[in-house]
Amino acid sequence: MSHQQATTGASPETSTRRGALAGRTAFVTGAGRSIGRAIAVRCGSEGSRVAVNDVDAAAAAAVVAELQEAGAEALAVVGDMSDFVQVDRAFAETEATLGVVDVLVNNAYTRRGDTAWGNFLSVEPSDWELFVSANLNMLYGCTQRAARALAGARSGGSIVNISSIGAERAHRNLIPYDSVKGAMESFTRAVAVDLAPWGIRVNAVRPGAIATEREQPLQDGWEDLRAAQIPLGRAGTPEDVASAVVFLASSESAYITGQIFNIDGGMMAQGRAPQVEGAPVMHPGNAAPAPVTLLR
């Protein structure tokens, strides 16, 4: 299979599709599954052409097929966006097939480094360097490549970075991950200021407890445990994140840049989870709330 697999579903109807992103080209990294997939699908449903990037060719192709079936133009872009050469190749292919990227969603991250997912005392320097450099290179490379094309076209655009509540409220045993997300938010604000003269807006969203295929198998009752900690009473979905991304990518947010948005059902707004306070968790329909164990 070639580095990029182009599959498009162009039709007379496609070019006149309506929606919040009609006529735009979106490039979504890590779009083969979970949050990235939901963002790509939602962008397509809102009228944009979509470049679906992933390192997994089969996953990217499946999302492209889903988009095409719904009537969207789509392109599978298979590649590692932490490699600057592959970034340039991917954007060149997208521009040739779908046009200049107006909407970039930096969703992908790599789990490189065997000790990067453990207690700080066990993180090896080589794994720290591997994890941090790969993830920040991905953010820098894609953002700069998209921004240079948009600045040249002088057409404006939107870049949305997928951060995490871990940028502000620490996870246990995720030092490199939380550090990268914190850096991403500083990057978001700084780049937003630099690119504002060209009408390029840069924002970030922080997903909270999102029910994805990666998290759900962690333990039985995961969603119930997480929901008990969340003011809105449920874990989020990838589609909740996608809705926020589409808003930030659209003209509805034309005067918003350099901002970080929590998509967390109110988790960050509360001081501590209610069960830590010793209070029962009350949601509509709970006749007799039972004690809930805090999931750490």
The DSSP code sequence of 115-176 is: TSSS-GGG--HHHHHHHHHHHHHHHHHHHHHHHHHHHHHT--EEEEEE--GGGTSPPTT-HH
Strand, coil or helix: what is 67? helix
Least Cα distance to 243 among 212, 205, 213 occurs for 205
Phi, psi of 17 (to 5 degrees): -65, 145
Structure tokens at 273: 């989870």
| Strand duo 74-78 + 4-5: pairing | antiparallel
Query: Helices (DSSP H) in 154-237: which residue ranges?
Result: 175-195, 222-227
Please name every residue paired with 158 in a beta bridge, in sequence order, or none if there are none.
103, 201
**Displacement of CA 139 from its chain's centroid (Å):** 11
In degrees, rounded to 5, the angle at the alpha carbon of residue 116 between the alpha carbons of residues 114 and 117 is: 95
Strand, coil or helix: what is 196? helix
Residue 255 among the catalytic residues: no
CA distances from 12 to 17, 40, 49 (A): 9, 21, 14
Task: Spot the catalytic one: 109, 140, 177, 255.
Answer: 177
The residues annotated as belonging to the active site are 177
